[in-house]
Amino acid sequence: MNQEPANADRRHVPARELGWSKSLARRLAQANISANAISLAGVGAAALAAAALAATRATEGIGQHALWIAAGLLVGSRLLCNMLDGMVAVEWGKASPVGALYNEIPDRVADLLILTGAGFSAGGNELLGYAAALAAVFTAYVRVAARSVGAPSDFGGPMAKPMRMAIVIVCCAYLGFTPDGWHPHFGAAGYGLMASALAIIALGSVVTCVLRVRRAAQYLNANA
Could you tell me if residue 100 is inside a domain? yes
Nearest by Cα to 156 from 2, 11, 7? 11
Amino acid identity for residue 21 in this structure: S
Could you tell me if residue 9 is inside a domain? no
56-66 tens-digit pLDDT: 999 999 999 99
Could you tell me if residue 36 is inside a domain? yes
Could you tell me if residue 138 is inside a domain? yes
State residue 92's pLDDT score: 86
Could you tell me if residue 3 is inside a domain? no
Q: Is 221 exposed, middle or buried (0-12, 13-18, 19+ CB in 10 A)?
A: exposed
Nearest by Cα to 100 from 4, 23, 222? 4
103-151 tens-digit pLDDT: 889 999 999 999 999 999 999 999 999 999 999 999 999 999 999 999 9
Q: Would you say residue 7 has pLDDT above 80? A: no
Q: Is 9 exposed, middle or buried (0-12, 13-18, 19+ CB in 10 A)?
A: middle
User: How many domains in the chain?
Assistant: 1
27-72 tens-digit pLDDT: 999 999 999 999 999 999 999 999 999 999 999 999 999 999 999 9
Could you tell me if residue 5 is inside a domain? no
Q: Which domain holds residue 24?
A: 14-222
Could you tell me if residue 4 is inside a domain? no
* Choice between 44 and 186, residue whose per-residue pLDDT is larger: 44
Could you tell me if residue 8 is inside a domain? no
pTM (two decimals) = 0.92
Rounded to whole angstroms, the Cα distance separating 219 from 224 reads 9
Question: Dihedrals φ, ψ of 150, to 5°?
Answer: 110, -5
Stretch 9-23: mean pLDDT: 86
CATH of the domain at 152: 1.20.120.1760
